[in-house]
Amino acid sequence: MKRIAVTILFAAAALGVSAEISVDAVNPMVGAITLGGYGGHGLGKCFPGAATPMGMIQLSPDTITGGDNGCGYSYHHTTIQGFSFTHMLGVGWYGDLGNFLVMPATGDERVLDRDKACSPYSHDREWASAGYYKVELPRYRVTAELTAAPRAGIIRFTYPKSDVSRIQIDLGRRIGQNGRWLSHSRQTVRVVDRFTIEGSMECSERDGGWGHGQGHVNYTQHFCAVFSKPIEKFGVWDRDRVLDGQREYSGNNAGFFVEFPTVENEQVLLRAGFSYVDVDGARKNLARDIPNFDFDAVHSKAREMWADAFKTVDVEGGTEAERRIFATALYHCLIDPRTIADCDGRYMGVNGQVLQSDRFVARTVFSGWDVFRSEFPLLTIIRPDVVNDTINSLMQVKKLSGRKMLPVWDLFGCSSMCMIGNPAVPVIYDAYSKGIRDYDVQLAYEQCRDSVEVRGNAPLGYTPGSLSTTLEYAYDDWCVSQFAGRLGNEPDAKKYAERAQWYRNCWNPENGWMQTRLKPDIPGEVKWLPWKGRTTHNQGTVESNPYQQGWFVPHDVKGLVSLMGGADKFADELTLFFERTPADFLWNDYYNHPNEPCHHVAYLFAYAGKPWLTQKWTREICAKAYRDDVYGLCGNEDEGQMSAWYILSAIGLHPVCPGDGIYLLTSPIFPKATIRLNPKYYKGEKLTVIADGVSAENRYIQSATLNGKPLNRAWITYAEVADGATLRYVMGDKPNTGWGLELPPAMR
């Protein structure tokens, strides 16, 4: 593998002199590859470019358009098509965004088609850090530098001496196009003055986008772009037609170019603001975020914003590689859910409604099926304000769209039904149970209840043909039951508690495992999908096999243990599940860390009274499934989920059942970790986890104290975290099978 030349300017902190994690340890190249070939859905699929925490803009290079390349960039590609201002992080299903593709060029011949205008590049001449990206384009002898603000971005091109240099902007490009040419989308551009162009890019689902159009995402992105050199020689193009000097244009595959002479090492800059409301919003966003061409100031501010976001979490010690992995994981966790509101608070709601809110920040990119497991439980601790914003945004989408259920995978309020379950339900209930409640609570409950009625296991008590869906719906019902109980609605609490037990309908005692039920031919018949063994995929299971999906009963582990024949047999089965997993943790038929259905499973050992096996396996996963290079994610990042699992596990706690207020404990990676709690949401000041003597070998908890008092359980409660706590371990190289034997409350 070629060396990755990444700008990581390690300060004393990253070299181990200081204790705190440094933003300079972030490596945005981690996971920046879409390459498959591992039997699953490819690797990280992350973009390597510049962004700010949960901002609208992700200004990044693009190496490909179309196909299952959701971030638009992959390390194994050899050419760059240009640089666009919005990207998704680690998604499959063909991705979206990637509009306003900017490419520099030199020479008399105009090559405007993005496929023909691309330039080769070398990873030895490519640099990335938090809020910054740089690459050399040898075809044109141009260096491109990118940095971002929340709602605008700026590019600095350094040109060679050339009689004709060029900046060309492909306005019709969209990452997830389902064909080379657009038929239904439309772009406009207008030369406003000697330096400025404005316009819009209307993106129709009929031309592709999210899920090749099956995600039903339609949006219009408006722009205001300013050049540092006067616009004197310019034109537009639409497919193969070029119109020199055209000041205003509208078309289906349009682009804009400007030409100028340059001297050696001349820097030409482009700054652009964007809005999903109107051009006026784009103008205001640009004026607020990047009012001039001081590239270095914008870069410095972006880095400052990341450093400020990192103040929530500190870790001390560990190896340099572990610190880089942790810092980059935290960085990935803070990309989404992103704001879609302009600086004046306006945003585009569903059905073309322009809305404004002073109470919450409108957010989108809710990868529900992925992020309810680790990403949102992490955010409830480190960014409860973002969780609150997201809940308000999801609730508003349901209310204004007239739909009968909450969004499943939200992108611009679309009606995408990507993936299964009702993931907004556990996100909302988990937040409510933790006191994150700056929204209409009663309406939130009603929307959750509506959702499980629309997508649920009634009336048969299971979903015919789908084990995965049956198990997820049962958990969603449990969340609604708990929500109803807290609100004093006892009839609903009882009803949905009974429905939460319907997971049992998929337990086949003949196979000793969960199996997919089919619709009966006659009333009362128990009909099964033909059994092909636990490890065979596509047996009514989503991105998993029955062995992997069958562990998903987070709300009733006690019941699952009973079905499996007791704690010993449960633990034996878990042990076998992990021992048959490949050492590299790449896509496989056992513990499959590259995908979400397994993400809670390593924490189940505590329910069988063997927490030292959780300690063993979480440390193995952290060590083998995560790296600090481009191959550092064994599966799709999925909008922060993969990294959130690492952050929580590296600190030493993770939920099995979001909403039950229990964090399972495991072996921390670092000698000390501190989470500073938001005083608006938490009584305590901070959560501190100290692991005396921890190392790669000393991964087993020998003893523990909580706030100075002996702790002999491998779990703590949300209330203990919220009040502020110091959790201290003594670590050793051999399991202490006598520690942590008090079972979680769910087992009582």
Separation between Cα atoms, residue 237 and residue 244, nearest integer Å: 8
Q: Based on the domain organization, do 113 and 195 belong to the same domain?
A: yes
- Which of 5-9, 13-17, 122-126 tops mean pLDDT? 122-126
Q: Give the chain's domain count.
A: 3
**CATH number for 218:** 2.70.98.10
C-alpha angle 600-500-439 in degrees, rounded to nearest 5: 80
Give yes or no for residue 705 having a pLDDT over 60.
yes
User: pLDDT band for position 10 (50/70/90)?
Assistant: very low
Range of the domain at 463: 456-555
Residue 358 inside a domain? The answer is: no
647-699: pLDDT as tens digits:
999 999 999 999 999 999 999 999 999 999 999 999 999 999 999 999 999 99
The yes-or-no verdict on residue 13 having pLDDT over 50 is no
- The two beta strands, 725-732 and 686-692, are parallel
Model confidence over 246-296: pLDDT tens digits? Answer: 999 999 999 999 999 999 999 999 999 999 999 999 999 999 999 999 999
Q: Looking at residue 20, what is its pLDDT?
A: 65
Asked whether residue 150 is assigned to any structural domain, the reply reads yes
- Radius of gyration from C-alpha coordinates of the chain: 26
Is 419 among the domain residues?
no
Are 542 and 581 in the same domain? no
Specify if 191 maps to a domain.
yes
Check whether residue 551 and residue 676 sit in a common domain. Answer: no
The last residue of a domain, from among 285, 309, 333: 309
Peptide bond into 554 cis (omega under 30): no
Same domain, 596 and 489: no
Helix (H) or strand (E) holding 262: strand 254-262
Q: Give yes or no: residues 145 and 279 share one domain.
A: yes
Domain boundary among 287, 309, 331: 309
Domain boundary among 309, 336, 357: 309
Q: Does some domain include residue 267? A: yes
My answer on whether 603 and 522 are in the same domain is no
Question: Residue with structure tokens 């200081």?
Answer: 18
Do 245 and 153 belong together in one domain? yes
For the CA atoms of 446, 447, 451, 457, the dihedral, rounded to the nearest 10 degrees, stands at: -20
Q: Distance between CA 590 and CA 533 in Å, rounded?
A: 12
Q: How much is the pLDDT for 352?
A: 87
One-letter amino acid for residue 62 of the chain: D
Task: Give the Cα separation of 711 and 694 in Å (integer).
Answer: 18
Q: Rounded CA gap, 612 and 665, in Å?
A: 10
With 0-12 / 13-18 / 19 or more C-beta atoms within 10 angstroms meaning exposed / middle / buried, residue 528 is middle
Computed over every residue of the chain, the mean pLDDT equals 95
| Pair 664, 585 in one domain | yes
How many Å apart are CA 522 and CA 141, to the nearest integer?
73
- Please count the CA atoms within 13 angstroms of the CA of 483 that sit on its side-chain side: 29
pLDDT tier at 42, thresholds 50, 70, 90: confident
- 1 belongs to a structural domain: no
- Please report, for the domain that includes residue 516, its CATH number: 1.20.1610.10
573 lies in the same domain as 708: yes
Give yes or no for residue 17 having a pLDDT over 60: no
* 262 neighbors 159 (Cβ within 8 angstroms): yes
Asked whether residue 184 is assigned to any structural domain, the reply reads: yes
Say whether the peptide bond before residue 337 is cis (omega within 30 degrees of 0): yes
**Do 546 and 631 fall within a single domain?**
no
DSSP 100-145: SEEEEEESSS---SHHHH-EE--GGGEEEETTEEEEEETTTTEEEE
Q: Which of 163, 142, 159, 178 is nearest to 61 (CA)?
A: 142
In a domain, 667, yes or no: yes
Q: Within a 13 Å sphere around the CA of 355, how many CA atoms are in the beta-carbon half?
A: 20
CATH number at residue 733: 3.30.2080.10
pLDDT tens digits, one per residue of 634-645: 999 999 999 999
648: helix, coil or strand? helix
Same structural domain, 616 and 723: yes
Considering the domain architecture, whether residues 57 and 34 belong to the same structural domain is answered as: yes
Give the side-chain half-sphere CA count within 13 A for 5.
11
Contact of 597 with 544, CB cutoff 8 Å: yes
